[in-house]
Each structure stands twice: as C-alpha cells, then as structure tokens.
Structure 1
C-alpha cells in the first residue's frame, strides 16, 4: 500500500469521510481486490482513532465493497460480473424514477447538463479516462438531484456509483467514450419533455452492465 499525503479530516461526519477515502483508494487501484485494509494503518495515516475507521468499514461491508473474515480482518471483495449484474439494474431503476419525478424541471437544467456533456466529450477526445468517468457521474448525479427526493438521492449515493463504474470499466471493459452522444440524446428528450425519457435513461445505465 502506497503512502500518499492526506488532507486533515473534519470531525463532523468522520466515518463518512473515511468511507469515501477508502472508496477512492479502491477505485484508483490503491487497494486491489483481495487486499487487506488495515484499520490501524488508515487511522494513523488520517490522524484519527480506529473507531470511525471501523464504522466506515462496517458501512462498506453493508455496501458489499469489502468483506470481513474471522481472524483476518477486512479486505476488498473480489468483484465479479455477477456483482455488476446485480448493481446496475438497481441503479437504472433509481435513475428511471428520478427522471419520472424530475421531468417537469429537467428542461430548465438542460443548459447545465449540456455544459457537463461538452466537458465529457473533450475528455473523451483527449483520452482522459478518469475525467470521462467523473464527468459521466456528474451528469447522472445532476439528474438525480433534480428529482428533489432526499431518500432517492441517499440510496443512489449509497450504491457507490464511482466505484462500480470503475469496476465496470475494469471487469466488463465498458466504453465510456460513446456516452456523450447518449447524453446528448437524453438532454434533447428532457428539453422536449419526452415521456419516454425515463426509459431512455434506464437503458443508458444498463449499457454499463455485463
């Protein structure tokens, strides 16, 4: 495990911040599938006690991102295509519901979505895969936020979208570069208040799945 400088964490929502730190580490390949995640090392690196680290690991285990083994501690799960096949229908269903709730307001957000999509297209043209993934998720998060349903947003965030998208790229070889064209079609559907827009977004998300 490489040692990298880490910014001090705020004391509010400490376990959530530690969880995001670990998720980022798994997404970037710092911790590979099967590798142990040692509580005391993370606590020492972040300058916190082991309590919130343990809580963050419990949250990640509930999200099926890590597993705890008797007498062996926590480790990153070995992710499979079956895992991806389970997560993306759930995500697609949530985003379909988001569009159904948000459609009257999405036309007013179209300019912001187009701006994000132009950045995605530029990232695709330059071959910046990390930026493509980040900007694609920005687009989807904006749609879900526009629904204005806090429970829906919370459940969507709890899926660990960034990590599962990264794993889709690694395991399933999903191609991100074509997504900006699909996003453009979705924006056009939002502008015209197309009642089929929810199904279109559902199918778009399912393209990430095995």
Structure 2
C-alpha cells in the first residue's frame, strides 16, 4: 500500500510509450526467448543504417548497430503485446527490461541502459547455425545504407542505380520466399532473420514497389 502523501510520480498506464514502439531486447531478456515468452516470430531485426524512432531522444535517428525489437501491430509501431482496447500489456509480468525501466516522466533509468548489452541475431542463433551464412549474405547485398544511397541515385534518374536497386529488392523478396519454403519455418520468422523488407524501407523514402509479372517497378513519389 502506498502512503497517500507520497508525491513520487507514477505511471498512469496511458499506453503512449507502448504506442511509440515495442522495446529493444537485451541480454537480460534472453530467458524470455528461451522459455518461449518472446518467440522469434514476434521479433523484428532493425539493421545498421535504418532510420528509427529513438525513445529516450524522442526523435528519428540512423542506427549504427543492430537491434532486436518486438514487432508492432496493425501496421504501426504500437507494441504487438499492447491492447489499445484494454490499455493493458499481454506479457506484463514477464515484460522485457526496457519496459520495466521506461517511464515517460523520468527517462534516465532507460537512457542509462538503452544502448548497452543489446541482443543480436548472432546471440540468439547458435554458432554454426546454417541460416547465419544466409543472413550474412543478405546483409551484404541488401544493406540499408547501400539501399538508401542507390535509391536516391535512382530517384534522380540514374538508370544503373535503378537496375541495381531492382536487383536488391528482388533478391530480398526471393530470400524471404525461399527460406520458409526450404526450411519449413513460418514466413513471419523472416523479419527476425532478415529485418524489415526493402520494399518497406523504401516506402519510408516515398518509393513504392509494384510487382509486374516476375519483376518489379518503382513509383517515385514527391519528397523524401
């Protein structure tokens, strides 16, 4: 029971933090993956070079290292375990470390650990796992920084860059098709294995990808 005179700020359970995005996963959260509380199909990998929302800074930033993050829901970054209808967390008792520390009126505890001891795919998949080689190949060919540079050149009318971008997106799409088909893994594991699809990252640059037969074409909207 709390003293009625206690003036300590407390979380009001408004859910704004949860709507701004699910937590990144840290080494302390590894038991939640091991016991199945956080299945890999519920995790998305954010790769170096991607532009993401930084909770402590409350602004967009470009990542310089890999982050594993709980997926969003309903086409937004709202944490998939958060229920807007009930304003409740589906895994509250087993919530990740960032969720335990995050408090909008005092972000210092979260800021102090935010970039420390983050898990990566190599931490989660055992050494020698056959998919690690595919992940490395995909990261090399579909690096977000390379994609963004190529996309900007293609937008400016560089035909060679446009063809390179097309090859990157097709490779990304094919990898996501083949791995579930050949391994039997569910398709929703792709976001953990390979990060967000390039066509999704391109959409943040106002570039749409349209499938045309066995190929694709790009639609370059105004602005970036």
TM-score interval, normalised by the smaller of the two chains: under 0.3
Q: TM-score of the superposition, structure 2-length normalised?
A: 0.26
| Bigger helix fraction | 1
Q: TM-score of the superposition, structure 1-length normalised?
A: 0.28
- The structure with the largest alpha-carbon Rg is 2
